[in-house]
């Protein structure tokens, strides 16, 4: 006799939780699809702010991405960016080593800061690979 209210409560909870499950199961966009969606989001923001010049530029960018972007070309572009960032880190490391040999503390600190910035750019480029 007491079973019916529990069954109704369980059914109600299941129905209310379904939208939450749908959000969790939605696949995250990657590659060109993610790039297009990012531009669409920026267009909506520009529209909401009444920035017609920015909106026009973004619509041009969206058209270019839609026409020319392939996941393979985007991946290659991102791989090249990682490679360039690795070279930059290596160059900055060499600069730091030279500064350390000379022993100038001010120069050493500047080179350390530049190396840290280059490493950060490399990390960001590596993270971009899988987007």
In a domain, 95, yes or no: yes
Other CB atoms closer than 10 Å to residue 25's CB: what's the count? Answer: 7
- pLDDT attached to residue 130: 77
Cβ atoms of residues 87 and 125 within 8 Å: no
Residues 82, 55 share a domain: no
Percent over 70 (pLDDT), the chain: 79
Number of domains in the chain: 2
Domain housing 47: 29-69
- Distance (Å, rounded) from C-alpha 33 to C-alpha 50? 26
105-to-29, 108, 109 alpha-carbon distances in Å: 47, 5, 6
- Supply the angle between the helices 71-102 and 105-128 in degrees, to the nearest 10: 170
- Listed residues 16, 38, 69: the one ending a domain: 69
Question: Is residue 12 pLDDT above 60, yes or no?
Answer: no
Q: Are 87 and 129 within one domain?
A: yes
Domain membership of residue 2 (yes or no) is: no
Residue 80 sits in the same domain as residue 131 = yes
pLDDT digits (tens, 9 = 90+) for 55-78: 999 999 999 999 999 999 999 999
The DSSP code for 130 is T
Query: Would you place residue 9 in the very low, low, confident or very high pLDDT band (cuts 50, 70, 90)?
Result: very low
**Residue 103 falls inside a structural domain:** yes
Q: Distance (Å, rounded) from C-alpha 59 to C-alpha 43?
A: 7
Q: How confident is the model at residue 30 (pLDDT cuts 50, 70, 90)?
A: confident
């Amino acid at each position: 006799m007491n079973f019916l209210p529990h069954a109704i409560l369980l059914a109600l909870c299941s129905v209310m939780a379904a939208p939450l499950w749908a959000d969790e199961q939605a696949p995250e966009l990657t590659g060109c699809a993610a790039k297009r969606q990012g531009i669409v989001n920026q267009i909506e923001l520009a529209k909401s702010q009444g920035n017609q010049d920015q909106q026009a530029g973004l619509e041009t960018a969206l058209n270019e991405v839609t026409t020319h972007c392939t996941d393979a070309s985007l991946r290659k572009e991102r791989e090249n960016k990682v490679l360039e960032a690795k070279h930059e880190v290596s160059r900055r490391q060499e600069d730091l080593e030279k500064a350390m040999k000379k022993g100038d503390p001010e120069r050493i600190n500047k080179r350390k800061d530049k190396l840290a910035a280059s490493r950060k750019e490399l990390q960001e480029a590596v993270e971009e690979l899988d987007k």
